Structure 1
Amino acid sequence: MIRGNERFITTLYVGTDFLIIQLSFFIAWFCRFYFLDGIVANDLSLADYFFWNVVYSITYIIIANFISLYKSKRRKKFSNEISKIIQANLFSMFVLLSLLFIVRNIDTSRVFLVIYILSNLTFIIGYRYIVKITLSILRTKGYNKQFILVIGAGSLAQKFIHTLSYHPEYGFEILGFLDDNKESLGKINSVNRPILGKINDLKLILENEIIDEVVIALPISAYDKYQKIIMTCEKVGVRVSIIPDFYDILPANSHFENFGDLPVINVRDVPLDDRINNFLKRLSDIMIAIIGIILTMPLLIGIAIGVKLSSPGPILFKQERVGLNRRTFIMYKFRSMKIMFDNASDTKWTVENDPRRTKFGTFIRKTSLDELPQLFNVLKGDMSIVGPRPERPFFVDQFKEEIPKYMIKHQVRPGITGWAQVCGLRGDTSIKDRIEHDIYYIENWTLLLDVKIILKTIVRGLINKNAY
């Protein structure tokens, strides 16, 4: 139905994005200059605005191509697509504003620009979601299939079949298997897929069958056959994928990098290692922290007074924590306990009915209001709004020996709130479960996931029954 027309679909995406940007332009124009203020005098004409709209449109398409927004997304999560749409729009707007500044055009309506970019985001994300859902339904029903030939019929191939069975929406269909091992061929027969021959029959099969992709699922002992298989496939223009024999020891998001002319497998893909992603997250952290400090200033002052009146001592509690790249920093909290002259707070957990707490301190800990000063940690760059919660050096040294993947959390900035926390893993809960949630966040980070965590924190994450 759609199979074989991927280039046409890519062109269709580009054309549709361009048309939607034009639609957003006219919506923003009429909303700003007719519906909001009536027909108002404006220094720039419709033609001037439309010219810059075309500049924005072309910039968007160039950036979208650069970040692979128009490549096949059959196996990608929709959140990944949303992240790229947001990136393309933000960077296009940055280019537009830079050009307007260079040509000294300062008369452009800021309200117009806000409506313009919000319309673009809403319409582009909306129509792409509809397309993705529609294609998933069609693929589940047998349309828009891509046909796969699997080289190998052992345990790797069986694992691949098992995984495909859980994702009919991908629209992949296995035509059959090639393998030189008779024992493997006997095992694979149980999944009712045809055995098309041996590996040497690959060239003949590719010439006579419609195959979109060849998946190599051979053991590492058959490594000497890989090159011939890949060359045969590329000679006829068929894509090749390899399931590594050591996949079970690799994290889900490992990827290749180039070290000179040498390809290197990066064991764990961290989206925030990407400069663009890191810049966007840091920019959003600064903006949210500034807005948060301004909005909560009366509350900050009120809590500071409450801490001062509840017991003698400083308003802020400062404690060393381990952050990004295992560097330590001083984290701020409103003091919720009585002054102690030993180092117990660095090596002991707070327990239920802890005698060290003040009455006011119990309240601000339960409601997480004691964490608000960490907005200043975010501005300093020690922390992020969203990320794994930082821990004290004493416990980091302890946990890294007990939990093998514990130190992975330090590959990103620690956060005021995080995926583990909004999933209920706060206070006296499993450290191992927290780390699993932290690793999920690190490997699957998007701006959309950050927004989701922030909203969950606001809606249900402030009051915590496990916070002692």
Structure 2
Amino acid sequence: MTTENAGTAKTSQVLPPPESRDRPAPHVGPPRGPAARLMPPRPGNVHRRRAAGTLAASDCLVALAVAVPAATPSGGGGPSLLPLALFSLLLPAVLLPLNARGGLYRTALTASALDELPALLGRVAAAWCAAAAVLAALHPGDALGWATLPAVVAAHALLACAARGAVHSGRRLAGRRRPRSALVIGAGPAGRRITAALQEHPEYGLRPVGMVDPGGPAPGTDEGDGAAGDAPIPLPVLTRDEEIVRAAIQNSVRDAVFTCDPASDPETAALVPLFGELDCTVWLVGEAARTAVPAAGPRFRGGDHLWGFACRRLDPAPRRRPAGLRRKRALDVVVAAVALAAAAPVLLACALAVRIADGPGVIFRQERIGGDGRPFTVLKFRTLRPRDEHESATRWNVADDRRMSAVGHVLRRTSLDELPQLWNVLRGDMSLVGPRPERPYFVQRFSQLHPGYAARHRMPAGITGLAQVHGLRGDTSIEDRARFDNHYIDTWTLWRDVRILLHTAGSLLRPGGS
């Protein structure tokens, strides 16, 4: 076990006050319900999934509709059973992955079935050639003729194009009636022009509810040509991450429109993973959409635009998590269950000592941030009774607090106060080994101050970790802790977890906690 928050707090170094702004803060109310969390669980972009699913369903229905006449012999009668079964199964199995790999299920602001027809035709031809070859190999008597195959491919492509046209028209109509809330990143002239275009043209299905200015330029800074459309937009301007998260939750924001290349500015680049956590579709609109280097993934179809502004969708890089987490979870369950059973007398003795020394309320509960940025309630034996919840959530350490009883000092120095966290491990809130979880207030501050701190949440939080066994606990360098934690995640093996657990067990014989 390890402890934390020991030593003398260096608040001037780790907790600088928020930056002051010359302009008034935007009207963004406090979060309610799930919004009270630092970062909400990823709900899934319903619009994006629904759009892709509708297009895939239309492709399947068209394939089945074309399979019936293609399987019918030229002499009349009903369709042959083998060709019908083969075409009904093989065509969607080949066509859907080809369309997905070609980006034909990616959302676009101005999707057009005619623009998609050339790409669709090539993939339909490939699917039918594969199906015809398999049929000719299995049953040569039902093989498609050289004249029939081109006709079937042409009919399939035209029907698929018509079906996609109907789907795109329905989506545009739904977008006009119920536009999705969007945030525009960039409060300069380019951002104002694009915001005005979205407000004047609801057919794109986006309704701006705020503008994001991550750099917070001083009033009067001009970055455009002063053309018409640069007039101020009556929307709140958001400058800090917490404002963006609150506005996104309260307004159900599902789209983020960047008006400048995120790679050109570190503060703007940091917003891309933030909107990824909020599960927003990220668009790059304007001059940057033509000049920025496209990210890896399906090829961008350059016909998409927003009222003449070049537009393309940006997909954040997939978050890589180490393989073998099931084995890690199995180790956690086995070791935590055995440890809880073996430590039951110690737990009972600690609980009784806390009850006698400090009165009711043996278990201390506190919100922490764990894997994937999800909050959970950590359990510890109470060693100090704070004045209020704000003190508990924002005070860095309590090592020298005179309110701590002798029992509290013993529990903290021996790390016995953290034994109830074995129950957190069994519940799946934590792991035995991983980055130490921190309170939301400090996660927010450290993520702003130390590059790589937020990346620690790729792995479930742990009772102990690589940083702790190297002595980085208490009031030690947060940057060093983050570096050790990320190194642990990047080089994780199950044996490394076992080694850290053995090292931690040995350190319990040399108590030196808080």
Scaled to the shorter chain, the TM-score interval is: 0.3 to 0.5
Larger-Rg structure: 2
Q: Structure 2 length normalisation: TM-score?
A: 0.38
Q: Relative contact order (C-alpha < 8 Å, sep 6+): which is higher?
A: 2
Q: TM-score, normalised by structure 1?
A: 0.42
